[in-house]
Amino acid sequence: MPSVVGLLEQRECAARRRVDELREEADRIQAELAVAERDWNEWVIACSRVGEVLAPGEGDVAGPDVAVDLPDGGEQPVAAGASESAKSKSVVPMWRAGLARSVLSVDYQRILRVLADRDRLGQGPLSCQEMAVCFGLEVVPAKVEALRSKAKRMVARGWLVEPVPGRFSLSQCVAGQGEEL
């Protein structure tokens, strides 16, 4: 007759083997999940980029998100007779007094609008994740980084400020325009 201690040790070994097998399987699944998430994010970015490129009315104009290697380090030419109203994918102009938000593309105008609303309500700066939620976008890296890129571009052009890294608000001169936004 087997001893009780021997039976307990057998059951313990079997349970330990099962735990080890499940841990290995969980590690394998975690690794597969990480690869699948990375792949999914790349497809989200690819779809977004293709959508930007194929947007109607774009013509041959490269937008601010498109990197173009120009010969001799020159700047991109500006089309003669370009109108004051912005097309989607247009370059963000430097802010100056009296410049209306209509010179910005719709995406940039949305950012200004939500930050102007927060300014009027006395609320603080907004993060890109919070902006994505305000716009009804999925809070995934591709969408958040696209918003961050736009917000950083607007900071560089004087439309926004970044008082705390990753949080954006209207610059004082833009906020002073009030309802013109």
Least confident residue range of 99-108, 130-139, 151-160: 99-108
Hey, what amino acid is at 127?
A: S
What burial class does residue 64 get, using C-beta atoms within 10 Å of its C-beta: 0-12 exposed, 13-18 middle, 19+ buried? middle
Question: pLDDT tens digits for 113-141?
Answer: 999 888 888 888 999 999 999 888 888 99
Confidence (pLDDT) at 57: 55
What distances in angstroms separate CA 45 from CA 106, 154, 176, one per listed residue? Answer: 20, 21, 36
